[in-house]
Amino acid sequence: MYWTKKFAIIIAAALMLGMTVPKAGAQTKSTPSATDEKSWWRNAVFYEIYPRSFADSNNDGIGDLKGITAHLDYLKDLGVDAIWLTPCFPSPQVDFGYDISDYEAIDPKYGTMADFDHLIAEANKRQIRVLLDMVMNHTSDKHKWFLQSESSKNNPYRDWYVWQDGKGETATSPGEPPNNWQSAFGGSAWQWDDKTRQYYYHKFYAQQPDLNWNNPKVHQAFKDIIAFWLKKGVAGFRFDAITTLFEDPQMRDEAVKKDKNGNPIMREGEPELDDTMTNNLPGVHTVMAEMRQEADKFSTDKFPGTRVFIGETYLPNIAELLKQYGTPEHPEFQLPMDTQIGFINKLDVSAFRSKIENAEVDLGDNVPLLVFDNHDNPRLDARYGDGVHDTDIERVISTVLFASRDAALFYYGDEIGMKTTPPASKEDVKDPVGLRFWPTFKGRDGERTPMQWTPGPNAGFDGPTAKPWLPVPPNASTINVQTEKGDPNSLLTWYQELIRLKKTNTAFSEGADTMIDTANTKVLSWKREAPGVPPVVVTLNFTAEPQTVNLVGAGLPDGTLNTLLKTPGATNPDSLKAIKLGPYGVYIGQLQFMMSH
Ligand code: NOJ
């Protein structure tokens, strides 16, 4: 495909313009960098699995580890380098696993430790690495540490959690909570304990008491837990709610956010607080540097390669994100999530352009980890779709994800275009936060519905007579792996093609991003340039109307393009002067010459 009839003419034209012509074959990589043990993560494709919803092997309605193992070939075909499993440890499941009662075991609902070992072995056979979720901010209230802690004020575990006296407490009344801090799931973040007559702090549900990270014993406990799983061969962790480890030692109130008229901003009936006393406090950097030092010790013969730390890092700006990488002397995360880009939540060309530029420029040599979707947010259709062109829009979004210089993380089902399907009635809600705020907020069940494998009963998530823990959306009859596999026009094939390019095309896998045609408010375009290969041009129509872009003079000289990937129905452009894009169309092409700088 690369060697077209026009090639001879282009060589002549390129030589006249003082450009250099690449040697045959220089365009593609012979060894994908993902196979390099030290830097496998730098251009890697990560896939988030919500085990409860991925595949159910024993027909109890809940997905499990054996179900994941059974689908590893699918993930391999897709081009996934690593899977991140949301928590599968023993848990009362109030927050579906984010309330952990034992950090060194597998919840029987998901299988056994032998199933876990088998999953790792089978994944590794396919060069797929396994990452776990590390929840260090809080435990379950049924964890043995908390059971001890709440048992008496003198218990040695008392200061493993954050306990405080109430304000104005009397012998008969708890008084007021120590301050105005709120739980992320609504209401006060303080829970009164009648037995020991103090409040404990919980950033999330009351069944998720926050650990006290000022206690060195807590540090040691997590170093041991991390070592336990690294010895088993896990390739790293995604650190949950990591920016909320510390709280203001003086326990000061948080300010109420005000709108431009000076009135409090309300969210679900409660004033919104600025969270400066409970989020992103500096202590987290010390902890992460310490944990990273622990992880860096592990590189066994059995599972060689860098162990990677991914951070759940919702932060206000790129400068704060940069801090999460740490320093060369004290590294922290290799891949703190860049939530700046993925959660813009509207197709705004200028916002995307400036945020992608930030990631490219302000993060220096660090690798951005782009992510657009997860188990806590409505899926892509609900945040970016228009109800008419959702699949086309999902092509646009996935192109930003895979065609940028980054490591890419996506959520199960995005690759087939699964849609947000919130519960139909309050009785159906499983996520407690959805019950609390129904109907203004229906909780997170809508983005956690079973993976759609087939058009058949229960979408192949489990057996035909089983009852999945959340209902299978009716659109599974058309949106499913079986139907989309092998269809050249499907979203699944689009994902596969993008990932293939990310792995095989040097410019695509290593090239720096530079925005071009930067005055355009309808089409987002950038080029990827790596030494020794011609640049790749990526251009995305962010509108429902057809667009034509002229990239000559907008950062590139004139020339012909070799099409690498385009949306169905798009035409191969004759030149950079007129790239025609349909509604939400995407075009990716590689120049047939190298640019001289
Ligand atoms: C972030 C997780 O992604 C979310 O699902 C969970 O509820 C909170 N952290 C608390 O662990």
- 517 and 486 in one domain? no
Residue where one domain finishes, among candidates 494, 522, 549:
494
Pick from 95, 201, 207, 441 the residue to mutate for probing ligand 1's pocket: most ligand atoms within 8 Å of its CB. 95
Measured distance CA(380)–CA(382) in Å, rounded: 5
Per-residue pLDDT of 466-501, as tens digits, reads 999 999 999 999 999 999 999 999 999 999 999 999
Bridge partners (DSSP) of residue 82 are: 46, 129
Residue nearest to atom 4 of ligand 1 (CA): 376
- 342 and 239 in one domain? yes
Are the CB atoms for 254 and 130 separated by under 8 Å?
no
Between the CA of 555 and the centroid of ligand 1 the distance, in Å, is: 42
- 25 and 62 in one domain? yes
Are the CB atoms for 342 and 373 separated by under 8 Å?
yes
Q: CATH number of the domain that 567 lies in?
A: 2.60.40.1180
Say whether pLDDT at 384 is over 60.
yes
How much is the pLDDT for 403?
98
- 112 and 25 in one domain? yes
Measured distance CA(238)–CA(407) in Å, rounded: 14
Looking at residue 415, its amino acid is: E
**Ligand 1 atom index nearest CA of 95:** 7
3-state secondary structure of 297: coil
Domain membership flag for residue 208:
no
Alpha carbon of residue 420 to chain centroid: 17
Between the CA of 89 and the centroid of ligand 1 the distance, in Å, is: 14
Pick the more confident residue, 302 or 67: 67
147 HSE (CA, 13 A, CB side): 6
**Ligand 1 atom index nearest CA of 203:** 10
**Ligand 1 atom index nearest CA of 185:** 7
When pLDDT is cut at 50, 70 and 90, the band that residue 574 belongs to is confident
Domain membership flag for residue 155:
no
How much is the pLDDT for 169?
84
Residue where one domain finishes, among candidates 494, 524, 552:
494
Q: Is the CB of 205 under 6 A from ligand 1?
A: no
3-state secondary structure of 452: coil
When pLDDT is cut at 50, 70 and 90, the band that residue 303 belongs to is low
Alpha carbon of residue 580 to chain centroid: 32
Domain membership flag for residue 176:
no
User: In 3D, which of 63, 62, 137, 66 has the Cα closest to residue 98?
Assistant: 137
Across the range 397-405, mean pLDDT stands at 98
**Ligand 1 atom index nearest CA of 98:** 11
Are the CB atoms for 90 and 100 separated by under 8 Å?
yes
Neighbours of 511 (CB within 10 A): 20
How much is the pLDDT for 592?
84
Q: Is the CB of 98 under 6 A from ligand 1?
A: yes
Give the active site residues: 240, 312
Residue span of the structural domain in which 350 resides? 5-140+215-494
How much is the pLDDT for 14?
34
Domain membership flag for residue 161:
no
Residue where one domain finishes, among candidates 466, 494, 522:
494
- 451 and 304 in one domain? yes
Residue nearest to atom 3 of ligand 1 (CA): 376
| HEC sequence for 346-390 | CCCHHHHHHHHHHHHHHCCCCCCEEECCCCCCCCHHHHHCCCCCH
Looking at residue 389, its amino acid is: H
When pLDDT is cut at 50, 70 and 90, the band that residue 23 belongs to is very low
3-state secondary structure of 482: helix
Q: Is the CB of 406 under 6 A from ligand 1?
A: no
Q: Rounded to whole angstroms, what are the CA distances from 44 to 127, 212, 254, 543?
A: 12, 34, 39, 30
Are the CB atoms for 387 and 353 separated by under 8 Å?
no
Look up residue 341 and give its two tokens. Answer: 């880009």
**Ligand 1 atom index nearest CA of 135:** 11
412 HSE (CA, 13 A, CB side): 28
Say whether pLDDT at 448 is over 80.
yes
- 412 and 532 in one domain? no
- 532 and 386 in one domain? no
Are the CB atoms for 544 and 388 separated by under 8 Å?
yes
Across the range 262-270, mean pLDDT stands at 89
When pLDDT is cut at 50, 70 and 90, the band that residue 553 belongs to is confident
Q: CATH number of the domain that 335 lies in?
A: 3.20.20.80
Neighbours of 183 (CB within 10 A): 19
User: In 3D, which of 328, 432, 305, 317 has the Cα closest to residue 42?
Assistant: 305
Q: Rounded to whole angstroms, what are the CA distances from 236 to 82, 89, 181, 228, 477?
A: 10, 16, 32, 12, 36
Say whether pLDDT at 427 is over 80.
yes
How much is the pLDDT for 593?
74
- 438 and 304 in one domain? yes
Domain membership flag for residue 183:
no
User: In 3D, which of 238, 524, 541 has the Cα closest to residue 369?
Assistant: 238
Q: Is the CB of 135 under 6 A from ligand 1?
A: yes
Domain membership flag for residue 118:
yes
Domain membership flag for residue 295:
yes
Measured distance CA(274)–CA(137) in Å, rounded: 19
Classify residue 28 by its DSSP letter: B
Per-residue pLDDT of 304-351, as tens digits, reads 789 999 999 999 999 999 999 999 999 999 999 999 999 999 999 999
Per-residue pLDDT of 279-291, as tens digits, reads 999 999 999 999 9
3-state secondary structure of 249: coil
Measured distance CA(314)–CA(450) in Å, rounded: 26
Percent of the chain clearing pLDDT 90 (strictly above): 85
Between the CA of 86 and the centroid of ligand 1 the distance, in Å, is: 9
Between the CA of 208 and the centroid of ligand 1 the distance, in Å, is: 10
Bridge partners (DSSP) of residue 425 are: none
User: In 3D, which of 324, 310, 420 has the Cα closest to residue 370?
Assistant: 310
Domain membership flag for residue 233:
yes
Say whether pLDDT at 260 is over 50.
yes
Q: Is the CB of 240 under 6 A from ligand 1?
A: yes
Q: Is the CB of 376 under 6 A from ligand 1?
A: yes
Pick from 204, 210, 243, 337 the residue to mutate for probing ligand 1's pocket: most ligand atoms within 8 Å of its CB. 204
Between the CA of 592 and the centroid of ligand 1 the distance, in Å, is: 47
Mention every residue, 6+ apart, whose C-beta is less than 8 A from residue 269.
none
Q: Is the CB of 204 under 6 A from ligand 1?
A: yes
Number of H helices, E strands in the chain: 17, 20
Measured distance CA(175)–CA(165) in Å, rounded: 9
Say whether pLDDT at 554 is over 80.
no
Number of domains in the chain: 2
Burial of residue 492, with CB atoms counted within 10 A of its CB: 0-12 exposed, 13-18 middle, 19 or more buried: buried
- 488 and 517 in one domain? no
Measured distance CA(334)–CA(46) in Å, rounded: 13
User: In 3D, which of 169, 207, 206 has the Cα closest to residue 187?
Assistant: 206
- 549 and 415 in one domain? no
How much is the pLDDT for 76?
98
Measured distance CA(326)–CA(217) in Å, rounded: 23
Are the CB atoms for 507 and 588 separated by under 8 Å?
no
Percent of the chain clearing pLDDT 70 (strictly above): 93
- 521 and 488 in one domain? no
Residue nearest to atom 11 of ligand 1 (CA): 98
How much is the pLDDT for 24?
32
3-state secondary structure of 11: helix
How much is the pLDDT for 557?
82
Say whether pLDDT at 37 is over 90.
no
How much is the pLDDT for 570?
72
Measured distance CA(119)–CA(111) in Å, rounded: 11
Residue the block writes with tokens 């049924």: 142
**Ligand 1 atom index nearest CA of 99:** 11
Burial of residue 474, with CB atoms counted within 10 A of its CB: 0-12 exposed, 13-18 middle, 19 or more buried: exposed
- 290 and 235 in one domain? yes
